[in-house]
């Protein structure tokens, strides 16, 4: 009776330890993977960015994730940049405007940064200072915009951020008329924060919202008889990541699913070991 009892206790302790270990790994490793700051780091941040900005959506200057861009412009200009953002990422935009000398200005000015998706739908900022007023003696004005997480798919009527290009527009919205045309220096920095599978949803877009991506895809699926269409290489659309867009099937939810299945199996074995009893009593007569 002593050996079976000790063996049962050993099995229970082993199962309890495995259950607690699996639960600890599941609740600590997965969030650490999802919030790993290295996932949002981009080698483009160490490279020199472009030194000019576009003046329309069509001429927007392309930036990579984590890259900064500078430009010299005049007060009253509309400045445009574009950068990519994929599903499971939260786009972040920061802008700094170096204002002219206070002696040359006539009063206060109000600056604003707006972000539009690939369909040119204005996206609301969840956090940050999208609009700021600069005093007459201010040297700089800093703006920021943190968007909602980018979803892999949404309903046609929704205005959710979707994978594709995101346009930045920076301009002054209020100032004395005499200050129009004064020179300013602008710096814009883009970034993304990896959020993991916590914001994933069902479905995926056929193509990311990038201008020209449907034309490039049509060249790949053209008739074989059309040599110009079938033989031409696919042209990367403006703002497409170097390693391409996410395939849409992988998410860290798979880790939670597998981990949950393992923990459920361990819990079932542990529960069975608690309820099955100690077997046949030793004092019971044979045949009973």
How confident is the model at residue 282, as a pLDDT?
A: 67
Residue 34 scores a pLDDT above 70:
no
Tell me the three state secondary structure of residue 254: helix
pLDDT (average), residues 112-124: 94
- For residues 161 and 232, the model is more confident at 161
Share of residues in the chain with pLDDT > 70 (%) = 64
CATH code reported for the domain at 23-272: 2.60.120.380
User: d(Cα 59, Cα 236) in Å, to the nearest integer?
Assistant: 16
**Of 14-23, 170-179, 241-250, which one has max mean pLDDT?**
170-179
How confident is the model at residue 109, as a pLDDT?
A: 93
How confident is the model at residue 285, as a pLDDT?
A: 75
pLDDT tens string 191-227: 988 886 666 666 677 788 888 655 444 555 554 444 4
Of 82-96, 155-169, 265-279, the least confident: 265-279
How confident is the model at residue 223, as a pLDDT?
A: 47
The tokens of 279 are what? 């077997």
User: d(Cα 82, Cα 240) in Å, to the nearest integer?
Assistant: 10
DSSP string for residues in 198-219: GG--S---SS-B-TTHHHHHHH
User: d(Cα 61, Cα 50) in Å, to the nearest integer?
Assistant: 8
* In contact, 50 and 61? CB cutoff 8 Å: yes
How confident is the model at residue 271, as a pLDDT?
A: 83
46 burial via Cβ count (<10 Å: 0-12, 13-18, 19+): exposed
User: d(Cα 28, Cα 34) in Å, to the nearest integer?
Assistant: 10
How confident is the model at residue 238, as a pLDDT?
A: 57
Q: Which residues contact 55 (CB under 8 A, 6 or more apart)?
A: 77, 78, 79, 80
How confident is the model at residue 10, as a pLDDT?
A: 61
The tokens of 266 are what? 């361990």
User: d(Cα 121, Cα 269) in Å, to the nearest integer?
Assistant: 53
Tell me the three state secondary structure of residue 6: helix
Share of residues in the chain with pLDDT > 90 (%) = 39
How confident is the model at residue 94, as a pLDDT?
A: 96
How confident is the model at residue 81, as a pLDDT?
A: 96
Residue 40 scores a pLDDT above 60:
no
pLDDT tens string 77-116: 999 999 999 888 899 999 999 999 888 888 899 999 999 9
Where along the chain do its domains lie?
Answer: 23-272
How confident is the model at residue 93, as a pLDDT?
A: 96
How confident is the model at residue 30, as a pLDDT?
A: 47
């Amino acid at each position: 009776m002593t050996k079976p009892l000790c063996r049962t206790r050993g099995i229970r302790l082993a199962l309890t330890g495995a259950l607690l270990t699996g639960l600890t790994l599941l609740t600590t490793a997965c969030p650490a993977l999802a919030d790993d700051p290295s996932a949002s780091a981009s080698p483009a941040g160490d490279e020199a960015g472009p030194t000019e900005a576009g003046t329309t959506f069509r001429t927007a200057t392309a930036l990579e994730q984590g890259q900064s861009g500078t430009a010299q412009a005049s007060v009253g200009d509309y400045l445009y940049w574009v950068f990519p953002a994929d599903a499971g990422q939260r786009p972040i935009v920061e802008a700094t405007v170096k204002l002219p000398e206070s002696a040359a200005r006539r009063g206060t000015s109000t600056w604003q940064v707006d972000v539009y998706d690939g369909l040119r739908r204005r996206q609301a900022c969840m956090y940050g200072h999208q609009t700021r007023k600069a005093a007459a003696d201010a040297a700089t004005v800093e703006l920021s915009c943190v968007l909602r997480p980018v979803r892999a798919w949404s309903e046609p009527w929704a205005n959710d951020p979707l994978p594709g290009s995101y346009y930045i527009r920076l301009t002054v919205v209020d100032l004395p008329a005499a200050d129009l045309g004064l020179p300013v220096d602008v710096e814009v920095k883009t970034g993304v924060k990896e959020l993991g599978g916590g914001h994933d949803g069902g479905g995926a877009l056929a193509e990311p919202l990038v201008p020209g991506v449907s034309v490039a895809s049509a060249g790949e699926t053209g008739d074989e008889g059309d040599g110009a269409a079938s033989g031409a290489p696919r042209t990367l659309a403006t703002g497409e990541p170097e390693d391409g867009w996410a395939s849409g099937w992988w998410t860290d939810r798979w880790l939670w699913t597998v981990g949950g299945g393992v923990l459920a199996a361990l819990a079932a074995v542990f529960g069975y070991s608690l309820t099955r009893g100690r077997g046949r009593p030793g004092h019971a007569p044979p045949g009973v």
